[in-house]
Structure 1
Amino acid sequence: MKAVLAGTVIAEADESDLARIEGNWYFPPASITEGALVESPTPYTCPWKGAAQYFSVQAGGELHTDYAWSYPTPFPSAFDRVGKDFSGFVAFDPRVEVSE
């Protein structure tokens, strides 16, 4: 699977390595292209996943604000709900094309 924005590959991994949560593909941290993500100060806490870390995505010569997010330390109960440890996995805004 690949995550692509403005012709730039942001992440790439085998589908079996990803987590599918609420309709979004979450990519493992090691699959993220170095330098593609810039931490954002945007706050958000999911009632069942925990505190999120938002990122802006550097692609196509532009910085796309809050186009990605992650749960660095999800609530332990979320692992059971998802079926795997998704700590630090990164999901993308629908404007980022995720495909096989």
Structure 2
Amino acid sequence: MKAIWNNTVIAESTDTKIVENNHYFPMSDIKEQYFKSSDTHTRCPWKGKASYFTIEVDKEKNEDAAWFYPSASKAAKPIENYVAFWKGVKVTE
């Protein structure tokens, strides 16, 4: 699977996990140069506290377009530190 934003592959993996129709990519399979930590956090009732990344490609920013669970709940442990996308990031094979 590939995650693409601004015509650039920002993550690529053969080991994504699908939860609630989102592909979660292992942290090791994202291209770190495009990811900047965000101060945004949200809480999912069953997965726990989410942290976010802003994606930056060619000086264009997509605020909080990627999220992950650094300390996932017991039920969500399989996706702990896996990254998912939204806000126009295309996930495709």
TM norm structure 1: 0.87
Runs of 4+ in 1 over 2 A off after TM superposition: none
* 1:2-42 per-position Cα deviation (integer Å, ceiling 9, x unaligned): 0000111110011xx11101111100011000211111111
Please say if 1:88 is aligned against 2:77: no
Stretches of structure 2 lacking an aligned partner (at least 5 in a row): none
Q: Report the count of equivalent residues.
A: 93
Partner of 1:7: 7
Identity fraction in percent: 42
Task: Tell me the SS of whatever aligns to 2:54.
Answer: strand
By percentage of residues, which structure has more strand? 2
CA distance in 2, matches of 1:43, 1:72: 11
Stretches of structure 1 lacking an aligned partner (at least 5 in a row): 80-84
Please say if 1:22 is aligned against 2:15: no
One-letter code of the match for 1:19?
Answer: K
Please say if 1:99 is aligned against 2:77: no
TM norm structure 2: 0.93
Alignment RMSD = 1.1
- Of 61, 65, 71 in structure 1, the residue corresponding to residue 69 of structure 2 is 71
